[in-house]
Amino acid sequence: MAIKSKSETAIEAAGVASRSDTPTPRAPVIRKPVKSAAEMHSWRGARNRNEKAELIRDCLFRAAGEVVGKVGYADASIALITSKAGLAQGTFYNYFESRQDILDQLLPALGQQMRQHVRGEARKGRDFSEREELAFRAFFSFLKETPHFFRILNEAESLAPNAHHTHIEAVARGYMDFLDHAHADGEFPGFEPKELEVVVFMLMAARSYLPMRYANGAEGQTEIPDWVVKAYMKFIKYGLMGQPPARLDASQAHVTKEATSPAPAARKTLAPKRTL
């Protein structure tokens, strides 16, 4: 059996935090964005009662995500959610206590799906730099497939604050584990352990603002431009890990030249001429 590095065992940081530490939402993981009415109503083909109950619950979450993404939390009524899911309003109360109940569970469930997607891609990398780039690209691919995620995230801060807190804590805790283990493996030695939390929130902020500027077109989420990814990775590699190699070589060459150059010849000091 191959022995994994500490960083490899912490790939969940790019995706999912420790199961024992993260509050587990009652919602099932939302598997994919809804593509069609047929997919939305897939619960009709359930093989037994338990499977039907699970599929209906999942269907309600999918519908809630679509509705909140379109009209926002404030206007996301039970009537709209059940209509989207093709269910009677009375069925809703078999699975959720109230409208607020499903809204409080929506973001943590979507966040769990996002972290699992990112984790699956990040674990393909060989070191911190590769894993971070894979995680970054995976985050944007998730946004493209789940365009309503950002509206749900942003509005949750005021309209579903418990859900927003749970989500942010899970992402930050996982990312912190990732950097802690990478640091223990010798990555970015110029940082003290206590400084890593600052870095975590800087990287999380990048994921909040870069999509708004570079991946949010008139028709929804678009592909993140490759040059944006490269700029981000320059920051990761040389902001966290030192100077670019070319600059480092030039700096070292300058120091070496100064150290090996002969001392300049002493200038003669001429006595001042006498004047009459």
Angle at 31 (CA atoms; ends 30, 34), nearest 5 degrees: 85
**In 3D, which of 181, 116, 110 has the Cα closest to residue 152?**
110
Please check whether residue 259 lies inside any domain of the structure: no
- The strand pairing partners of 221, in sequence order, are 216
pTM above 0.75, yes or no: no
Residue 2 belongs to a domain: no
Q: Are the C-beta atoms of residues 214 and 228 closer than 8 Å to each other?
A: yes
**Beta-strand pair 220-221/216-217:** antiparallel
pLDDT tens-digit profile of 25-60? Answer: 344 344 444 444 445 556 666 677 888 888 889 899
The pLDDT of residue 191 is 87
**What is the reported pLDDT for 237?**
87
Confirm if 61 and 76 have CB atoms less than 8 A apart. Answer: no
Burial of 221 (0-12, 13-18, 19+ CB in 10 A): buried
Split into its structural domains, the chain has a count of 1
Domain that holds residue 83: 7-242
Judge whether 36 lies within some domain.
yes
Q: Which tens digit of pLDDT belongs to each residue from 79-93? A: 999 999 999 999 999
The CATH code of the domain that includes 58 is: 1.10.357.10
The answer to whether residue 33 is domain-embedded is: yes
Tell me, yes or no, whether 261 lies in a domain.
no
